[in-house]
Amino acid sequence: MTGLPQPRDVIAHRPPFLFVDEVVSLEPGVRASGLWRLSGTEWFFAGHFPGRPTLPGVLMCEAIAQMGAIALLTDERFAGKLPLFGGLDRARFRRQVVPGDTLELSVELGRMSARAGKGSGKAAINGATACECELMFVLVDA
């Protein structure tokens, strides 16, 4: 789709810690969705787990948070800010994610203030939920 930003143009993350490859939909300050394509060459697969590579659950939560940061930072009210994790609640892992999978990320932002906010997100593969969680974040000057 044209008109959607590149993740690296919105958030400060860079490889090997940039976990959003593409923004698929965006409503600034409200919601966003995107993709993370796992090739199998990512650094964490070698040790998690040898012979049975599996995406660590905490990295799924991080990918969801990065998608949320894109939804947040594309809202001009939050320009020049850096969202930091303030908390993670109700994280649930529903299925294994392996090399070759494409993680479909979606986040909906909730209550927002000038200094903090909440959101909820999901990571799925072919529509089947792999992870879901609630995010809390604080905003600091970038």
- 52-57: list long-range contacts, CB under 8 Å, 24+ apart: 53/98, 53/99, 54/96, 54/97, 54/98, 55/96, 55/97, 55/98, 55/101, 55/103, 57/91, 57/93, 57/131
The share of the chain scoring above pLDDT 90, in percent, equals 96
The pLDDT value recorded for residue 2 is: 57
Kindly indicate the confidence band of residue 97, based on its pLDDT and cuts at 50, 70 and 90.
Answer: very high
**Bond preceding residue 15 cis, omega within 30 of 0:** no
| 8-26 confidence digits (pLDDT tens) | 999 999 999 999 999 999 9
pTM for the model: 0.96
Burial class, 11, CB count within 10 angstroms (exposed 0-12 / middle 13-18 / buried 19+): buried
Burial class, 128, CB count within 10 angstroms (exposed 0-12 / middle 13-18 / buried 19+): exposed
Q: Which residues are catalytic?
A: 48
Average pLDDT value over all residues in the chain: 96
